[in-house]
């Protein structure tokens, strides 16, 4: 409420546990997601080592199932998505000229729920075995999976999914109500557009997962009969609900990166993005179609030729807006003044890689041919081409692009280029050959393959490629450490176009002393070309309202974590219901405190901002 609260000295740890600053939460998401990315990468390497030669006995069949399940689950839910949320949290409010997000408290809660959900899921390794029913955890398998692995999957994803949903709602509300003066929808940078549309996907896709996990949980823990065929249940319902969530999920993973690439291409080509309006509508169209095609994951279930054909056509239609995007990116570079640095390299590497992934997607979208490809390594190759060649390349591009904004230092270029080339070559070695392994009949999810069936060399090459990608990731980590000692850079190291480059690097906790006036697309670029050099203020200098930090989101998430453990183990021992009810009561108590206690935030006085402006002018 007062200035005194703001000025009080806090320890660093307490500061990070209670922060409601969207930029710090963004960094927390990056750190959390980065950790899980390394973990899931390690799991992938173990899988590839097992498959390096025929009839290998590096790990057991059961452990192999756990490894592939946890690799997929961790990569999608706990690595890629949180890292994207990190960028969206950090960059989007800056890009729209806002001081904060709509719901700072909710934002923090979303992060801690994701983290504790992820930790709960990974506790399974130490508490009786990880989930082993695949990342989709189809009910027909998951219902009868022994032990508690699948229960950890259910509760861990439920908790982190709730966090994701909150994050999504918060980001939509932020873009709708908090855009700065002059920032109309059609002046928003493509990354902000992608954030908006991705968040809408999160909002409409995640509830389907929530319900599905509930149904599976009721069946496994409380004896209901949704998927119990003896009592009239139907496991195909699980597949439908899963893919009604799961198909939009893959667009949640790629659309923000399409936004990143759009920003990167236009910045480093020194040109306005080609076909801005078409890009916006293509993004919307991809999102819409993404919801309409879930059953292409179920061509072999037996839905019948009519349903299969409709979903096949819908699936192939997605190639059209995606093609529009690819051509617009190429046209953005056409005749531009191109700078090739690490961020740009990842973006350039993305175009052919993702296009290959898209073409195999159209192949898989043909329902007749799908009976041949189904559950082979061809599918594995396809989705890794889009998810690694799209999402992971995009994440690396975004890291190099926004690192100076986040930490005030540019990542080392030489190491960045080495990372790119090693990872890029490793990626294509790993997955290109898998197309052919699949066409030759190698099934996915198999623990071993036999000798002399034409699969030996391909698998060997694939595993070597995977190790190269691991080396690439390690070089990136070295780069992060090397960069700590490098020189500080200014606000605008890339000669940028959008508003995030108008504030210092890293930005002050209140983002803007005065909200900037947006006068068109690429607002900073407009001011630079008109000779102003910096954004014009849209308001007189005044007191700035800021939210107070809070420890409640952290405590609430711990409560849900404990309750999750209680849910899992109450099946074995009724004493665990104490943990269940205790955890829930604790979390609900925290919510009650939150709703009963007024928290109006505090004001940064005008004088403090004046001092800051003077210091900058010097």
The helix or strand, by DSSP H or E, that contains position 603, with its residue range, turns out to be strand 602-604
305 vs 116: CA distance, rounded Å? 44
Which residue from 371, 348, 238 is spatially nearest to 294, judged by alpha carbons? 238
CB of 81 to other proteins, least distance (A): 16
Q: Which residues bind other proteins (CB under 8 A)?
A: 1, 102-103, 165, 169-170, 172-173, 176-178, 203-208, 210-212, 214-215, 218-219, 222-226, 228, 230-234, 237, 240-241, 244, 592, 595-596, 598, 600
How near is the Cβ of 430 to other proteins at its closest, in Å? Answer: 36
| Minimum separation from the CB atom of position 249 to other proteins (A) | 14
The least CB distance from residue 538 to other proteins, in Å, is 15
Round to whole Å and give the CA distance between 114 and 29: 9
- The Cα 2–Cα 7 span in angstroms is 9
The smaller minimum CB distance to other proteins, of residues 445 and 545, is found at: 545
Closest approach, Cβ 212 to other proteins, in A, equals: 7
> What 3-state DSSP class applies to 613?
helix
Taking alpha carbons only, the member of 20, 183, 207, 177 closest to residue 107 is 20
**With respect to other proteins, which residue has the nearer C-beta, 176 or 313?**
176
- Cβ distance to other proteins smaller for residue 61 or 211: 211
Q: Considering the complex, what minimum distance in angstroms separates the CB of residue 229 from other proteins?
A: 9
Least distance in Å: CB of 211 to other proteins?
4
Q: Cβ closer to other proteins: 172 or 348?
A: 172
Q: How far is the CB of 72 from other proteins (least distance, A)?
A: 22
Q: Nearest approach, Cβ of 226 to other proteins (angstroms)?
A: 5
For other proteins, the closer of residues 152 and 238 by Cβ is 238
- Using the minimum distance from each CB to other proteins, give the nearer residue, 9 or 177: 177
Instruction: Please list the alpha-helical segments (H only) found in 297-412.
Output: 305-317, 319-333, 342-365, 367-373, 377-386, 393-407
User: Given the complex with other proteins, which of 372 and 514 has the nearer CB atom?
Assistant: 514
Q: Which helix (H) or strand (E) holds 546?
A: strand 544-546
Number of other residues whose CB lies within 10 A of the CB of residue 567: 22
Smallest distance, other proteins to C-beta of residue 187, A: 20
Residues paired with residue 604 on neighbouring β-strands, in sequence order: 544
Place of tokens 């989705």: 383
Nearer to other proteins, 178 or 555 (CB): 178
Residues 390 and 369: their CA atoms lie apart, in Å, by: 24
- As a whole number of angstroms, the distance between CA 23 and CA 111 comes to 12
Six token digits for residue 197: 């549309």
Q: Cα–Cα distances in Å, from 397 out to 163, 348, 354, 381, 542?
A: 26, 10, 14, 22, 37
CB 446 within 8 A of CB 400: no
8 Å CB contact between 187 and 277: no
> Shortest gap between Cβ of 6 and other proteins (angstroms)?
16
List beta partners, residue 537: 516
Helices and strands in the chain: count of H runs, count of E runs = 23, 2
Nearer to other proteins, 205 or 524 (CB): 205
Q: What whole-number distance in Å separates Cα of residue 495 and Cα of residue 287?
A: 31
Minimum CB distance to other proteins, residue 206 (Å): 7
**Burial group, residue 431, by CB count within 10 angstroms (0-12, 13-18, 19+):** buried
- Minimum Å gap between C-beta 26 and other proteins is 19
Cα gap 480→416, rounded to integer Å: 10
Q: Which two tokens stand for residue 358?
A: 């898209």
Give whichever of 165 and 345 is closer to other proteins, judged by the CB atom.
Answer: 165
- Name the residue nearer to other proteins (CB basis): 246 or 389: 246
Phi first, then psi: give them for residue 121, nearest 5 degrees: -60, -45
Looking from the CA of 299 toward its CB, the CA atoms found within 13 Å total 22
Residue (204 or 327) nearer to other proteins, CB: 204
Nearer to other proteins, 453 or 577 (CB): 577
């Amino acid at each position: 409420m007062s200035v005194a609260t703001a000025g009080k000295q806090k320890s660093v740890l307490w500061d990070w546990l209670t922060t409601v600053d969207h930029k710090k939460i963004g960094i927390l998401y990056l750190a959390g997601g980065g950790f899980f990315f390394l973990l899931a990468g390690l799991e992938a390497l173990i899988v590839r080592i097992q498959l390096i030669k025929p009839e290998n006995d590096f790990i057991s069949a059961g452990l192999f199932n756990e490894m592939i399940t946890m690799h997929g689950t961790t990569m999608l839910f706990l690595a890629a998505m949180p890292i994207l949320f990190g960028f969206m949290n950090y960059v989007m409010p800056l890009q729209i000229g806002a001081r904060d997000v709509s719901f700072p408290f909710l934002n923090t809660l979303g992060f801690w729920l994701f983290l504790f959900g992820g930790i709960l899921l990974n506790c399974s390794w130490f508490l009786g075995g990880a989930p082993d029913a695949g990342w989709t955890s189809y009910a027909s398998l998951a219902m009868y999976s022994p032990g508690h692995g699948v229960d950890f999957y259910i509760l861990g994803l439920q908790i982190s999914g709730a966090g994701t949903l909150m994050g999504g709602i918060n980001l939509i509300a932020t873009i709708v109500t908090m855009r700065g003066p002059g920032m109309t929808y059609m002046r928003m940078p493509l990354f902000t557009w992608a954030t908006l549309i991705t968040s809408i996907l999160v909002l409409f896709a995640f509830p389907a997962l929530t319900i599905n996990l509930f149904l599976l949980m009721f069946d496994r823990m409380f004896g209901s009969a949704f998927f119990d065929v003896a009592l009239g249940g139907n496991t195909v319902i699980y597949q439908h609900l899963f893919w009604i969530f799961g198909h939009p999920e893959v667009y949640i993973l790629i659309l923000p990166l399409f936004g990143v690439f759009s920003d990167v291409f236009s910045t480093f080509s020194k040109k306005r993005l080609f076909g801005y309006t078409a890009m916006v509508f293509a993004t919307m169209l991809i999102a819409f179609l993404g919801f309409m095609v879930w059953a292409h994951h179920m061509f072999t279930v037996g839905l019948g030729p009519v349903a299969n054909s409709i979903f096949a056509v819908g699936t192939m239609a997605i190639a059209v807006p995606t093609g529009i995007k690819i051509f617009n990116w190429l046209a953005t570079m056409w005749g531009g003044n191109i700078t090739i640095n690490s961020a740009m390299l990842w973006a350039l590497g993305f175009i052919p890689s993702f296009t290959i992934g898209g073409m195999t997607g159209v192949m898989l979208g043909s329902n007749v041919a799908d009976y041949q490809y189904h559950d082979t390594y061809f599918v594995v190759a396809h989705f890794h081409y889009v998810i690694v060649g799209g999402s992971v390349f995009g994440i690396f591009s975004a890291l190099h692009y926004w690192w100076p904004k986040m930490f005030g230092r540019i990542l080392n270029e030489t190491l960045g280029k080495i990372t790119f080339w090693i990872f890029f070559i490793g990626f294509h070695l790993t997955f290109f050959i898998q197309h052919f392994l699949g066409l030759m009949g190698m099934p996915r999810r198999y623990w071993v393959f036999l000798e002399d069936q034409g699969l030996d060399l391909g698998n060997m090459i694939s595993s070597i490629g995977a190790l190269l990608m691991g080396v690439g990731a390690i070089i990136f980590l070295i780069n992060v450490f090397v960069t700590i000692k490098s020189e500080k850079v200014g606000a605008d190291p890339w000669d940028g176009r959008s508003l995030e480059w108008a504030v210092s690097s890293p930005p002050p906790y209140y983002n803007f002393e005065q909200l900037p006036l947006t006068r068109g697309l690429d607002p900073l670029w407009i001011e630079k070309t008109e000779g102003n050099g910096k954004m014009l203020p849209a308001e007189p200098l005044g007191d700035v309202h800021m939210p107070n930090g809070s420890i409640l989101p952290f405590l609430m998430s711990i409560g849900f974590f404990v309750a999750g453990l209680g849910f899992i183990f109450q099946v074995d021992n009724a004493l665990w219901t104490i943990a269940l009810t205790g955890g829930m009561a604790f979390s609900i108590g925290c919510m009650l405190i939150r709703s009963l206690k007024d928290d109006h935030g505090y004001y940064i006085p005008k004088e403090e901002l004046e001092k800051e402006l003077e210091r900058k002018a010097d």
